[in-house]
Structure 1
Amino acid sequence: MSSKQGGKLKPLKQPKAEKKELDENDKALLQKKKEEEKALKELRAKAQQKGSFGGAGLKKSGKK
């Protein structure tokens, strides 16, 4: 870098990643992963509707 050159240097452009060809096993794994994520989202939605678990809070003894 010479003293006349100032400012930031532009980063070199990275080559675009080539798209991989997916075989049947890869497609099956991606499909299974999507189904699991969908199931988790449904379970979270159900859990939010029900509220907190237990609901008892702090238990008090019968003594005064």
Structure 2
Amino acid sequence: MSRQGGKAKPLKKPKKKTQEFDEEDLAFKAKMKADAAAKKAMAEKASKGGPLIGGGIKKSGKK
């Protein structure tokens, strides 16, 4: 007789290897983190409803 019913045991996953980063990888990660922080700050500023950058095209009152 074979056991068909019940929950099958999950297979064991191999342990994750610790990754080694060189200076370029660390610099790239730091840059990406800074970009993400800048995007978040811009999103907060935009959600407040204030002008993002002064200037742009202004319409004149003439017709």
Task: Please give the residue correspondences for 1:9-48 in structure 2 after superposition, counting only pairs within 5 Å.
Answer: 9-48=8-47
What is the rounded CA distance, in whole Å, between the counterparts of 1:42 and 1:10 in structure 2? Answer: 47
Structure 2 portions without partners, runs of 5+: 51-63
Q: How many angstroms does 1:46 deviate by?
A: 0.1
Given the two structures, how large is their TM-score scaled by the length of structure 2? 0.70
Q: RMSD between aligned alpha carbons?
A: 1.8
Structure 1 portions without partners, runs of 5+: 52-64
Given the two structures, how large is their TM-score scaled by the length of structure 1? 0.69
Q: Runs of 4 or more off by more than 2 Å in structure 1?
A: none
What is the rounded CA distance, in whole Å, between the counterparts of 1:32 and 1:45 in structure 2? Answer: 20
Q: Paired residues, what number?
A: 50
The match for 2:48 is 49
What is the rounded CA distance, in whole Å, between the counterparts of 2:37 and 2:9 in structure 1? Answer: 42
What is the rounded CA distance, in whole Å, between the counterparts of 2:42 and 2:15 in structure 1? Answer: 38
